[in-house]
Amino acid sequence: MIAVIFKPDRERKFHIRIAIAVLAVVLFVGAASLGYYIIEPGYSYLDALYMTVISVTTVGYLEVGGSLTNGGRVWTIFVIIGGIMTGAVALSLVVAAVVEGRIRGILGRRQLERKISALSGHVIICGYGRTGRMLAAELKKGGRQVVVIDNTSAQTAQAEQDDVLYLLGDAEEEGTLLAAGIEQASSLVAVLGSDAENVFLTLSARGLNDSLEIIARASEASTQNKLTKAGATRVVCPLIIGGNRIADVLLRPAVVDFVEMAHKGVNLEMDQLTLEADSDIAGQTLRELALPARIGAMVVAIRRPASDTLYNPGADVTLQAGDTLILIGRHGMDEAIERLRKTGRV
């Protein structure tokens, strides 16, 4: 199932129209009852309300006291005609609000589907809990396109408020994954509620896209191997990461502070640059590239797809297509790296 939730302003307009319809009926009934109370001698408030209700609904019950005065009969004519008109207007407001909401929902769903179908190289996040929401925010900061899949309307409504493309549906179903553009996506993140769901999701996703990068969360350390066998590119276990982080804080606090400072980009940043097959940088040495002088970034490691990672590479190392450069440098270098990635020039 795939659906779109109304935006808050549309819901507000819908509620306003319903409130106007109800208010119109209440005001008319109150005014009509007041008229009977004034015109007919001896009528109580309940008698006046009773006469208004049987007149507007045309049920045909007898009048209070057996008959009305001439003034009461004239007033009844106006009450019947006014009641029909007020009811028709109120009903039209309700019907228009419902129909308009359904039409907007259909149009909104189609517009959302068109936006998602036009994406390429995006990231699909399955599960929009606390982890999924934080991840989507960080990816958007980094300029990545994100599509969220969640099976609860409350979470997809939150995704809409966060201005994130989303689908309301079961991420384990192939139809939902295809609707999210898994065939054109570059990565998928599995952060569903349980390890069993993440394993099944990983199997389904891998079957639909062999080259997809799949990052899966494992709540239990024993699930990591299962996720890897199911096709996950990388498995993240918060328990292990948390334990290692606490140990690092105790044993190497200065290193942890340095990495956090680089991650937050306070005074310096860490980034990576992958050289495509047609990159102009491939074939140059680090000395020729001169990144420290050009953009204030140092290459601390080079990860090569067919060999081990080179740490602290020398200036005479020749770069190859497919290399991933791990960079560290001053704050603001990410823009220069992005230009370097796209054009080969700073």
* Tens-digit pLDDT profile for residues 139-153: 988 888 999 999 998
Classify each residue of 113-123 as buried b or exposed e, where b means 16 or more C-beta atoms within 10 Å of its C-beta: beebeebeebb
- pLDDT of residue 306 exceeding 70: yes
Name the average pLDDT for the chain: 83
Tens-digit pLDDT profile for residues 38-81: 888 888 888 888 888 888 887 767 777 667 888 888 888 888 88
Plot region of 251 (φ>0 → left; ψ -120 to 50 → alpha; else → beta): alpha
**Structural domains of the chain, ranges and CATH numbers in brackets:** 8-117 (1.10.287.70), 123-241 (3.40.50.720), 253-343 (3.30.70.1450)
Q: What is the pLDDT of residue 341?
A: 66
CA distances 134 to 94, 124, 163, 205, 271, Å, are 39, 14, 13, 22, 19
pLDDT at residue 146, as a whole number: 93
Phi and psi at residue 180, to the nearest 5°: -80, 0
Chain segment 173-183, per-residue pLDDT in tens: 999 999 999 99
Q: Which of 40-49, 182-191, 203-212, 252-261 has the lowest mean pLDDT?
A: 252-261
Residue 154 class from Cβ within 10 Å (0-12 exposed, 13-18 middle, 19+ buried)?
exposed
Which tops the pLDDT comparison, 105 or 27? 27
Quickly state the pLDDT bin for 209 (edges 50, 70, 90).
very high
Within a 13 Å sphere around the CA of 264, how many CA atoms are in the beta-carbon half? 8
**What is the model's pTM?**
0.58
- pLDDT of 1 reads 37
Among 6-10, 222-226, 257-261, 328-332, the range with the most confident prediction by mean pLDDT is: 222-226
Print burial letters for 225-251: b (CB count within 10 Å at least 16), e (below 16).
ebbeebbbeebbbeeeeeeeeeeeeee
Residue 190 is predicted with a pLDDT of 95
Under the banding of pLDDT at 50, 70 and 90, the label for residue 263 is: low
pLDDT at res. 344: 58
